[in-house]
Each structure stands twice: as C-alpha cells, then as structure tokens.
Copies of this chain bind each other. A is one copy, B any other.
Amino acid sequence: MKKLINEVESVVPDALRGVAAAHPGLRVDVDNQIVFRASGPRPGKVGLVSGGGSGHEPLHAGFVGYGMLDAACAGEIFTSPVPDQMIEATAAVDGGAGVLHIVKNYTGDVLNFQMAAELSGEEGVRVESVLVDDDVAVRDSLYTAGRRGTGATLFVEKIAGAMAETGAPLTEVARVAREVNARSRSFGVALSPCTTPAAGMPTFDLADTEIELGIGIHGEPGRTRSAMRPARELVHLAMDAIHEDLPISGDTLVMVNGMGGTPLIELYIAYAAVVDHLAEKGARAARNLVGGYVTSLDMQGFSITVCQLNEELTRLWDAPVETPALRWGR
C-alpha cells in the first residue's frame, strides 16, 4: 500500500488540519472532527448538519458553507461519526429555528444520528432528520437495511441548504430535502477496489478484465460482476437500472461522479454517454455535475445520480452556493 499519509492513526485529523488551513471560511474542530462555517449560526436560519465516515471527500466537509451545510461531522474512514459529535454540531449551528440532520442510510449512521436527535431534542433543539437512500443497486447490503445513500446526499444538501438560506421554517426545509431524495436515484460501477489505510489491502479482488456493477461507496458488494465493457455500455446499464426504479423524463439534474481514482477525462466520456441515453428516453440533463464529489478513497469507477427536477428544485439548485467543493452565483 502506498498512500500519501503520515500515520494510519492520524489520517482524519491530519486531513482536517489541511482543510482548516486551506479554507478560511471554515472553522475546524480537529479534536472533535467537526467542520463548521466560520461565520457561526445565523439567527432564524435552520441549521443543516450532516456527516459520515471519512474517505468520501469532498463529502461532507467540502459542502460546508453558504447555501449548503452549517456543519459536518467526520468519522474515521468508512465509519460513522459518534452521537457526541452530532450533538455538539447540532447545538452549535442552531440559530433558534431548529436543525436538519441529513443522514445517509447506513446502519451506524442512522442509529447514531437518531440518538443525537433525541438527546438534542431533550436539550431543547428542534431536530428533523432526512434519510438519503438513493442507490438502486441493492437492498439490505453489508452495512444497510434498505437502500444505501450515495450521490443524492449532495443534491439534498445543496437544495435543502438553499431553502434554509431563504429563512424557510424547519418543516419546509425537511420537506424539500425529502422530496429531493424521493426524486433521486443512483447506480455505481467499480473498475477497481479501494484500499483503506487501516486494512492496507484492497477491500475486495477484481480480475484484470472484471468490474463490479452496483458497487457501494465503501466497496461493499454490488449486484453482479461482469466483464469490462465500453463506457457507453456501462452507462446504459447504470441508466437502465435507475430508469427501472424511477422512470426518467423531462428535465433532470445529473451527476457523473468519480469514485476517487478515475481521471476526469473518463468522466466526461461517461457524461457524453449519459446525455445520449437521456435523449433516447425523451429526457435531458438540464443541470449537471461531472467530477469527484462522493468518492471511495482510491477506487476507480463512477456512479451516476439522476434527480427528476421541477421548477422549485431547479431554482434552489441554481441558488448561490459558496463551499470548498461547490461554488457559484455569489
């Protein structure tokens, strides 16, 4: 294993020190592994808290800032943060209008956020939770009951974050967050496994000509193995799986996401195939993201996330955002 790290034990705090140094708009509590907006809570604005295992960067810390999250809790690699982090983050970002927890559907994350929501409630903070479960590949996988949460997390954070900036009440912010999740589906393909620093070896084996269809963001198994195929065929497999679960039509928001080790030139090749596929379905990518946004360490591969837009979601997607990893219009 060759990784650009100091010690296996210090990967997350070392990276958080880098995040703190790189982004003056953030305040980073390295000891407790929480990343906040430096500006603090805005009175009357609903606070947004998310978090999860590290190894998916820029998710979540890269989405803290104006128009998205107020705080992100970082767990160890591929491990949920603990309730204490979430409780501290929740208290810190409450501007009196309550706090929304955005939770990816993995058992550890769900249990810990649930406990944090209850205890925060007892301390007088109104908390609503939204569960993200957009991955159509498998049900009840290694770490999950039900569907896994992957790329749509970013869509939920962006759109709910924009709604919160308008001063909307907690119920409204939670409603739109749930609507984004309900309208979003994802499917991922791995060309290679990833290697966690602690394990020091690949999370699974793939032969030289073999790929894993429906991969999770921790290298957990997908639907099936397959021989390697041209990009357009892989994209069609992924889009068909998405379409089968939620028929696509009209205007969509599409992300072609790199899993961490895939070059950008290849993601653009995949995106061209996505656009062709949408045209066949009578749909179009009205908005898009192409790049590494929800990664799995050094895994090679990609995922596609599609969200069926409406006028409200489009307007909120277009609203100004200023975070390390997404920035426009301000």
Complex contacts, A269 vs chain B, CB 8 Å: 4-6, 11, 14-15, 18
Looking at the complex, which one of B57, B208, B270, B273 makes contact with A265 (CB distance below 8 Å)? B57
Say whether, besides A264-B57, A264-B295, A272 and B2 are in contact (CB < 8 Å): no
Complex contacts, A301 vs chain B, CB 8 Å: 4
Cβ-closest chain B residue relative to A74: B265
CB 8 Å contact bits of A1-12 with B (1 = contact, 0 = none) = 011111100010
A302 on interface, CB distance cutoff 8 Å = yes
CB 8 Å contact bits of A264-294 with B (1 = contact, 0 = none) = 1111111111010000000001001010100
Complex contacts, A4 vs chain B, CB 8 Å: 191, 231, 234, 262, 266-267, 269-270, 301-302
Complex contacts, A11 vs chain B, CB 8 Å: 265, 269
A65 on interface, CB distance cutoff 8 Å = no
Contact between chains at B6 and A231 (CB < 8 Å) = yes
A297 on interface, CB distance cutoff 8 Å = yes
Chain A interface bracket (under 10, 10 to 19, 20 to 34, 35 or more): 35 or more
A211 on interface, CB distance cutoff 8 Å = yes
- Bound CA span A266–B15, Å: 7
Say whether, besides A4-B269, A6-B230, A7-B230, A260 and B260 are in contact (CB < 8 Å): no
Say whether, besides A2-B209, A6-B231, A208-B2, A22 and B266 are in contact (CB < 8 Å): no
Number of copies: 2
Looking at the complex, which one of B191, B209, B260, B285 makes contact with A263 (CB distance below 8 Å)? B260
Contact between chains at A290 and B22 (CB < 8 Å) = yes
Contact between chains at B2 and A263 (CB < 8 Å) = no
Contact between chains at B290 and A18 (CB < 8 Å) = yes
- Bound CA span A15–B5, Å: 32
A54 on interface, CB distance cutoff 8 Å = yes
Complex contacts, A266 vs chain B, CB 8 Å: 3-5, 15
A residues lining the B interface (CB < 8 Å): 2-7, 11, 14-19, 21-22, 54-55, 57-58, 62, 191-192, 208-209, 211, 228, 230-232, 234, 260-273, 275, 285, 288, 290, 292, 295, 297-298, 300-302, 327-328
29 A–B contacts from the bound complex (CB under 8 Å): A2-B208, A2-B211, A2-B300, A3-B191, A4-B267, A4-B269, A5-B230, A5-B269, A6-B232, A7-B230, A14-B231, A14-B269, A15-B266, A15-B269, A17-B272, A18-B270, A21-B272, A22-B268, A22-B288, A54-B265, A57-B263, A57-B265, A57-B268, A62-B264, A261-B261, A261-B262, A262-B298, A265-B297, A327-B328
Q: Which 5 pairs from chain A and chain B are nearest by CB?
A: A18-B268, A18-B272, A4-B266, A57-B264, A18-B271
